[in-house]
Amino acid sequence: GENVEQHPSTLSVQEGDSAVIKCTYSDSASNYFPWYKQELGKGPQLIIDIRSNVGEKKDQRIAVTLNKTAKHFSLHITETQPEDSAVYFCAASKGNTPLVFGKGTRLSVIA
């Protein structure tokens, strides 16, 4: 089955700097790649997603890139703010199968 690896497990950046989180997946048939943000004591919340027919997608300060050949995708957060501090999860799925998640990245934005 699908296996998703996520790096790094922790990331600290200065406020205003960029943050990049990377994930790799094993199943070349996977075609949907979402990113979730989880704040303390809350459930994960979808922040951006990308389908396999698109190479990049942006939403304000957040962007996701996908390299199908290398089977990896990345989350880019620019101009980081303290409220970006959270745990971020990547995930992958194919067709209508359930999402398989990475193990998460704890992002700390230092003011």
Partner 1 sequence: NAGVTQTPKFQVLKTGQSMTLQCAQDMNHEYMSWYRQDPGMGLRLIHYSVGAGITDQGEVPNGYNVSRSTTEDFPLRLLSAAPSQTSVYFCASRQGIGRYGYTFGSGTRLTVV
Strand, coil or helix: what is 22? strand
Q: CA 105, CA 97: separation in Å to the nearest integer?
A: 24
The one among 61, 67, 103, 110 contacting partner 1 by CB under 8 A: 103
Q: How far is the CB of 71 from partner 1 (least distance, A)?
A: 18
Strand, coil or helix: what is 41? coil
Q: Is 26 in the site for partner 1 (CB under 8 A)?
A: no
Q: How far is the CB of 102 from partner 1 (least distance, A)?
A: 6
The one among 14, 40, 43, 83 contacting partner 1 by CB under 8 A: 43
The one among 15, 26, 28, 46 contacting partner 1 by CB under 8 A: 46
| Cβ atoms < 10 Å from Cβ of 46 | 10
Site string for partner 1, 57-96 (x = CB under 8 A): --------------------------------x-x-x--x
Contacts of 3 (CB under 8 A, 6+ apart): 25, 26, 27, 100
The one among 13, 20, 32, 72 contacting partner 1 by CB under 8 A: 32
Cβ pair 99, 3 in contact under 8 A: no
